[in-house]
Structure 1
Amino acid sequence: MIRIIAILVGLGFAVVALVSFAVGAYTFATEETTPHLPYEEPMDVDYSFDGPLGTWDVAQLQRGYKVYKEVCSACHGLKFVAMRSLSELGYSEAQVKAEAATWQVPGIDPNTGEATMRAGVPTDQFPSPYPNAVAAAAANNNAIPPDLSLMTKARNDGTNYVASLLVGYQEPSPEVLAEHPEAAPGPGLYHNIYFPNLNLAMAPPLMNAGQVTYDDGTEATLTQMSTDVAAFLTWTAEPTLVKRKQTGWPVLIFLLFATVLAYLSKKQIWSAIKPKQHPKNAKD
């Protein structure tokens, strides 16, 4: 009886799996696909933190922070990043305190209990430029600028995507418009060859060279600023990226050593034990 029940249950699972496969195949075969807009894949930029031995370029991260502060922070926040984290970018404790004080963050008036703005301290998160989503939408043609804390992890090939998007603004070519009339930017939209829909609500934030003056004297070209802020946003999204890579190598070496040691131990323990011969193979 138990065998019959088991067989029936197995057949039930098989039927369900077969029906699910048939429905999925039919849906895939009959699904109408939308035309693929001819957007470009992100540029392939070499960063110091790429690869298994990558490290942070602290100077680049500081330049990227400057681009974020002077350009991107007008519309985008970093709500998951504490200002004290700037110490990881080579800033001293005094510099972190001074830098935090340049930001205005929401606070409470101790005398009236009303909401107010105050100078930031290292324990504060980087503030949003808007008090709420309604205000953000009203100031940006009904489009809410996303928080950038985790942006490079939220997009495929995020670092290259951010760097490419910032330099990808241009007028749509006549060939693209002739083949894809929907690629023409509508009111309040801007054409960008690296954006999947080709048009987005964000105006070009980096418009010309020299928009930011770097403290280390690096020339602030459009490409330089875009790659620097993309590197900085990679750090905000995963500040332990380099430390994780550095930790991984000792772990791999230890696992390799432990594997070899376990194999040699197994050989040593079982070396004195001979395998028992089958009677048919035993010699007379």
Structure 2
Amino acid sequence: MARILSILVGLFFTVALAWSFGKGAYTQITEPPAVTAEHVFHLTPKEVHFASDGPFGKFDRQQLQRGFQVYKEVCAACHSLSHVAFRDLAQLGYNEAEVKAIAAGFQVPGTDPNTGEANMRPGTPTDYFPKPFANDIAARAANNNAIPPDLSLITKARHEGPAYVYSLLTGFQTQPAELLKQFPDAKTPNGLHYNPYFANLNLAMPPPLTSEGQVQYGDGTKATVDQMAKDVAAFLVWTAEPKLEQRKQTGWTVLSFLLFATILGYMSYRNIWVDKKH
């Protein structure tokens, strides 16, 4: 009896699944979704390459420092790095004194040791990058009702993350006339900015990188908009996965061991077991 009941239950779920799939397929064929401006004009990220790409890739420390400079001087006004501590910057090649100086340039929440009241104090290497806004309400008020995302993990949170960040920063443009011709109601609302690399084509963030030389690089690199976008994208690859190089090195070590163990196992089989009769 129990076997028959289990068969009937399984058959019921099989029929229900088949009916659901068939209904969905029929609806898709007979009532296809309306074509929107997003479907037609949304672009995939541009092709861009970084030193950390590939199985043998390594971070370009000089580029990471340039990217951090772009973040600090341009992006930090709106975007946080809540998963990154100031002391982590030592991995970019900064010495202890430089890390302390960078941390001291930020104000972080603290407590007055005399009164116990909350206050703001200069950061120390053990502190994490502070949020630029006190709360979400303040963030929305300053950004056309949008909350700027934390950038710590942005290159892992978005499909083709590094290329997405680079494309978004270099993709601001005037809304094409062809879009308005095909979709008259898709005009970019006031206060938003057209960018074909953003999912719905319009975002509250204005172009953050607007002109050459907006950031003065200390290493003499020409700070074009394209260069600054690529540098900060590379920096955000590091913030999302600071152990990237170690992970790759560990991976190659493990693969080498597995290859050696496989060869050793095969040779043992050939020498010990191949002539054994079953």
TM bucket (normalised to shorter chain) is: over 0.9
1: CA distance, partners of 2:82 / 2:17? 44
Match runs of 1:33-72 below 5 Å: 33-35=34-36, 36-72=39-75
Deviations along 1:40-66, one digit per CA (max 9) or x if unpaired, are 221111110111110000000000000
Q: What residue identity is the alignment partner of 1:132?
A: N
CA contact (8 A) 1:37 1:198 kept: no
Partner of 2:127: 124
Deviation, structure 1 residue 186: 0.8
Secondary structure, aligned partner of 1:243: helix
CA distance in structure 1 between the aligned counterparts of 2:43 and 2:19, rounded to whole angstroms: 39
Q: Tell me the equivalent position of 1:85.
A: 88
CA distance 1:188–1:19, shift in 2 (3 Å): same
User: CA 1:48 to 1:181, structure 2 compared with 1: closer, same or farther past 3 Å?
Assistant: same
Unpaired runs of at least 5, structure 1: 276-284
- Corresponding residue for residue 230 of structure 2: 227
Q: Which moved more, 1:108-117 or 1:235-244?
A: 108-117
For these two proteins, the number of residue pairs brought into alignment is 275
Other structure's SS at 1:86 match? helix
1:172 has 2:175 as partner:
yes
Deviation at 1:187, TM superposition (A): 1.2
Instruction: Give the TM-score, by structure 2 length.
Output: 0.92
Number of the residue aligned with 1:21: 21
Residue aligned with 2:248, SS: helix
**Alignment pair present for 1:217 and 2:220:** yes
Counterparts in 2 of 1:70 and 1:3: CA distance versus 1, 3 Å: closer
Deviates more, 1:56-65 or 1:7-16: 7-16
* Alignment partners' CA distance in 1, 2:205 and 2:3: 65
Distance in 1, matches of 2:165 and 2:221, equals 20
Partner deviation per Cα, 1:104-156 (whole Å, 9 max, x = no partner): 11111222222211000111110111000001101111111111111111111
User: Any conservation in 2 of the 1:48–1:55 contact (CA below 8 Å)?
Assistant: yes
Paired position in structure 2 for 1:32: 33
Say which one has the larger Rg. Answer: 1
Are 2:190 and 1:190 aligned?
no
CA distance in 1, matches of 2:241, 2:157: 11
* From 261, 273, 276, the counterpart of 1:273: 276
2:101 paired with 1:98: yes
* Alpha-carbon distance, 1:9 to partner: 5.0
- Give the SS at the match of 2:119: strand
What amino acid is aligned across from residue 126 of structure 2 in structure 1? T
- AA partner of residue 244 (structure 1): R
Distance 1:175 1:20, change over 3 A: closer
Q: Could you tell me how far 1:205 is from its partner in structure 2? A: 0.6
Q: 1:170 to 1:10 in 2, by over 3 A?
A: closer
- The aligned amino acid for 2:119 is T
Relative distance call for 1:79 and 1:3 in structure 2 (3 A) is closer
Rounded Cα–Cα distance in structure 2 between residues aligned with 1:175 and 1:17: 43
Q: Give the 3-state SS of the residue equivalent to 1:80 in structure 2.
A: coil
Counterpart of 1:278 in structure 2 is none
Moved more, 169-178 or 33-42: 33-42
Indicate the larger mover: 212-221 or 249-258.
Answer: 249-258
Q: 1:4 to 1:140 in 2, by over 3 A?
A: closer
SS at match of 2:82: strand
In structure 2, relative to structure 1, the CA distance for the partners of 1:135 and 1:121 (3 Å cut) is: same
Query: Bigger shift: 197-206 or 180-189?
Result: 180-189
**Residue 211 (structure 2) pairs with residue 208 (structure 1):** yes
Q: Which deviations, in whole Å up to 9, do the C-alpha atoms of 1:77-129 show, x marking residues without a partner?
A: 10111111000000111211111111111111222222211000111110111
CA distance in 1, matches of 2:28, 2:124: 54
Aligned partners of 2:181, 2:275: CA distance in 1, in Å? 81
Decide whether the 8 Å contact of 1:42 with 1:161 is kept in 2: yes
In 1, the alpha carbon distance for the partners of 2:233 and 2:252 equals: 26
Task: Give TM-score, length-normalised by structure 1.
Answer: 0.90
Partner of residue 156 from structure 1, selected from 156, 159, 180: 159
C-alpha distance in 2, partners of 1:50/1:66? 22
Counterpart of 1:281 in structure 2 is none
Give 2:259's aligned residue. 256
Contact 1:37-1:197 at 8 Å conserved across structures: no
